Structures are given as structure tokens and as C-alpha cells.
Structure 1
Amino acid sequence: MVNLLNEGDLSSFFKLLNQVDDDFSPTLSSRVDLEQYALKLLKVATVFGVYKKNQLVGAIAVYMNDLDSKVAYCPFIAILSNSRGQGFSQLLLEIAIAELKSKQFNSLSLTVRADSPASHLYKKVGFLIVNEFNYEDSNVKGLKMELKLL
């Protein structure tokens, strides 16, 4: 089941961020205060959460607030490790994309580690690599990817 999350979901969303923190390199918590980040995303972004047995097991956040250029950005998508491989990431992406198309957005962009298995999902969904870069203060290669919506 997928739901649109709001500030009332802060506790479960914050818990999810803590559970997936180490899946990011560098960790999210080394870059942001997780509770403040969770609240910011719930207030400013559109956040969809996927549930399994009434537990939040994954989420996607998309900034859909650039109404001039109609370019959206996905700063966060994650699934708990024990719920991966079940199509939840693709489901969340498809729901976010449908929402963006209904609002007539032109594109959705995101960044991902070049060696991340998630990059294969993004390519499968239709994202193209816009450029490669190194993450700040590291030798970690990243990809900026974009999906044209119109």
C-alpha cells in the first residue's frame, strides 16, 4: 500500500531515515540532522511511503515546487534492506512520475552513485545520464540523471 505522507507521519518517516542511514555513502546523518531533514521533506516535498504489514518500509521524496520551469528533483528514495527486491522502488517512482505528469512537469532529475544498483532501475524507467561527477570531498563517482516527462 502506498500513501502520501504528511507531517503527522514524522515519527515513522524519521524512523525510516534512521534505518536506511548507513545505506547512503556518505551517510545522511553525516550531512544533515535526520529529524530536521525528515520534517523539511514532509513540509516542502511530496513524499510517498510504501507500507508492508502496516510498517513504513520505503519512501520517495520529490520537490515539485518549481512551477516556472516545471523541473522536479528527487532528493531521496530508499527501501529497507529486508524489503528490497519486491518492486517497491519502481512502484514509488511510477507513482511520483504519474503525479508529476498530472501536474504537467517537464522532467524529473536525481543523483545517484555510479556503482549503485539503483542506477539500473533508473535507466530501466527511462532516466538518462546527464553528467558524471565526484561527490564533494570524495572519490565517489556520481551520476546526475534525468527523466523527460513530456
Structure 2
Amino acid sequence: MWSHLSACANSFTPPLHRRVAISDYATKLVARAERFEAWEGATLIGLVAVYCNDPARVAAFVTSVSVVPERTRMGLGRRLLAAAITHGRGLGFARMALSADRGAAALNLYREFGFTEDARDGATLHLSLALMLPCSDASERARLP
């Protein structure tokens, strides 16, 4: 997990290592997050991590979406995010939430799935997706092989 997050650190806006201690964050994700992973051999190449620990099932929180730089733009993040959304729906969460920088490359992906802006805090956008609604077209396409 640490090596994957380190390899993807500069893909985050701002870079991940400027926001968190990567080793501590990796440990927290392994212990507390539901993880949707893509592997190539023994190498983790894609990750979506979601905290599904709200006992009232109001919101699941996407804490990390990352794909190693050499594998971006291949639909990997889309498939992993679709799996996370399906999982959140299956657990009965009302919505899925995430926070992203206004300049994040993944904003278009989030909007394709139907995430909308709830609030803004400086450069940070707080987005959410209602999970009790039918799947969006992007979510359905992402499930296709």
C-alpha cells in the first residue's frame, strides 16, 4: 500500500506527501477502509478506498482514488469507483461523499458518475452522490468488461 501511494503521490492535487504522512495514511487505509484494488502481478496499480464506518449509513466517504501514472486513462479508476459505489449502495448508504481540490484531474470522473458539489472550502470541493437513485450511465458503463 505504501509503495502504491508513494508512486501516485504526485498525481494528487496537492501532492499526497504534502498533506499526509504516507506511511501513516497507508496503515490507516489498511485498518479502516473498504478497498477496491487492481493488481498487476504483485504490484498494486489502482486503488479506491472508502470509509464505510457511519453507523447510521448516511454517508460513505471516498478517501483515496489513485492509479499508478503509467496506467491512467485506461478506465481502471472508473471501474474501481463503480465497484465502490455499488458496494456503498449494497450496504444501504444514502450517499457517497468525497473531497477534492478544484484542480484535481479526477473531477471529470466524479462528475460523470453524478457527484455534485455540496460545499467549497478554499480550493477544496466537497462532493456527494445520492446512492438511493438508479445508477448513472457512467456507473453502468464502468461495469462492462
TM-score w.r.t. length of structure 2? 0.84
Instruction: Work out whether residues 13 and 104 of structure 2, in 8 Å CA contact, stay in contact via their aligned partners in 1.
Output: no
Name the structure 1 match of 2:14.
26
State the 1:117 CA deviation: 2.6
Name the structure 1 match of 2:131.
149
| Aligned residue type for 2:124 | G
Name the structure 1 match of 2:62.
74
State the 1:113 CA deviation: 1.7
Identity %: 27
Gaps of 5+ in 2: 133-145
State the 1:21 CA deviation: 1.2
Instruction: Work out whether residues 36 and 47 of structure 2, in 8 Å CA contact, stay in contact via their aligned partners in 1.
Output: yes
User: Equivalent of 2:29, from 41, 49, 59?
Assistant: 41
Cα deviation code 1:91-127 (max 9, x no counterpart): 0111001111111000011011222231111110111
1:128 aligns with 2:121: no
* Number of residue-to-residue matches in the alignment: 132
1:64 aligns with 2:46: no
Distance 2:67 2:12 in 1: 12
| Aligned residue type for 2:117 | I
Instruction: Work out whether residues 100 and 125 of structure 2, in 8 Å CA contact, stay in contact via their aligned partners in 1.
Output: yes
User: Equivalent of 1:106, from 94, 98, 109?
Assistant: 94
State the 1:37 CA deviation: 1.0
| Aligned residue type for 1:35 | S
What value does the CA root-mean-square deviation take over the aligned residues? 1.4
Q: Which stretch of the first structure deviates more once superposed, 53-62 or 41-50?
A: 53-62
Gaps of 5+ in 1: 1-12, 135-140
Distance 2:14 2:73 in 1: 23
| Aligned residue type for 1:31 | R
State the 1:55 CA deviation: 2.4
